[in-house]
Amino acid sequence: MKRRHWQLVAAAVMALAITLACGDEDGPTAAVPGTLVLTLTTPNADDGAILFSISGGGIDIPTSVVASNLLFHRLTGTASMNAVVVGDIAAGALVSFEVPDVGAAPSYSATITEVADRNNALRTSLAGYSLSVSRE
């Protein structure tokens, strides 16, 4: 009888431990692959090309959100990519890309390097421009 009691106690403790370990607040969570989106903020309505870089791990399969825009990209390292989008660019979702864990979205960032208007003139100032990263 005594032996059975301890077995039950041990099982109960284990169950509690498991319960605690798998809880939302304090327990470890699994990576969730998914898509992140770069959203453009621009002070102009006639942007024609934008050159930018993305930082973050495991960036893959970038895609132009606007089908009529052209996207070219190049991995520059394990956690960086250069890309250029050409077209009639407007504020809003610009590019989507795959990441291994959408939960890590805050760790991704994008930096605009150059912007040209639709007459191919280079913007002399990038004030007011930004690219934000968010989950799709």
Partner 1 sequence: MFRRLLCLAAIVGMADAGEALAQKPTTKDPNQERARLFYKWSPSHTLKHSPVLSAAVVNESEPNDGPASADAVSLGDQGTGDVDPSGDIDYWIFSAAAGDILDIDVDASQVGSPLDPMLELFASDGVTSLAFNDDYDDLDSRIQYTVQAAGNYYMAISGFSDMGGPGYFYSINFNLLVCDDSGYLETEPNNEAGSADAVNLGDVATGVMCATGDVDYWSFSAPAGTTLDIDVDAWAVGSSLDSFLELFDSDGVTSLASNDDFDGLDSRIQYTVQATGTYFIAISDLGGRGGPDFFYAINFRTLVPGPGDPTTVFASGFDAPAGLAFDRAGNLFVADLFLEQLWRVTPDGSASVFATGIPGPLGIAFDGFGDLLVAGNDGIVYKVSDTGVSTAFLTQVDCPFWIATGPDGSIWVSDICADRIFRFDAFGALQEGFDVSSVGGVSFLAFSPAGELHFSNSFANAVFKLVAGQPQLVFTGDQFLEGFAFDVNGNLYVPNEIRGRVILYGADGTVLEDPFALTVQSPVALAFGRDADGTTNARLFATDFGAGAIVEMNPAGISAPGWPVGVELLVVSPDALPDGVVGADYTALLTVTDQGVTPTWSVIEGALPPGISLDSGTGVLGDYPTEAGTFAFRVRAESGARFGEKDYSITVTEATLAVTDVVNAILGVDGVLSPDEERYLDLLGNSNGVFDVGDFRAFLEATGGLGSAARLTDHALMESWKVDHGLNSGKGAQ
- Please report, as ranges, the residues that interact with partner 1 according to CB under 8 A: 48-51, 63-64, 67-68, 70-77, 82-84, 86-87, 113-117, 120-122
Going by C-alpha positions, the residue among 2, 107, 94, 88 that lies closest to residue 45 is 88
Q: Nearest distance from residue 81's CB to partner 1, in Å?
A: 9
Of 13 and 70, the one with the shorter C-beta distance to partner 1 is 70
Of 20 and 121, the one with the shorter C-beta distance to partner 1 is 121
Which residues pair with residue 52 across a beta bridge?
Answer: 83, 112
50, 40 contact by CB (below 8 A):
yes
Largest CA distance in the chain: 89
Cα(5)–Cα(11) distance, integer angstroms: 10
Q: Nearest distance from residue 79's CB to partner 1, in Å?
A: 11
Please give the single-letter amino acid code of residue 81: M
Of 115 and 133, the one with the shorter C-beta distance to partner 1 is 115
Q: Nearest distance from residue 34's CB to partner 1, in Å?
A: 20
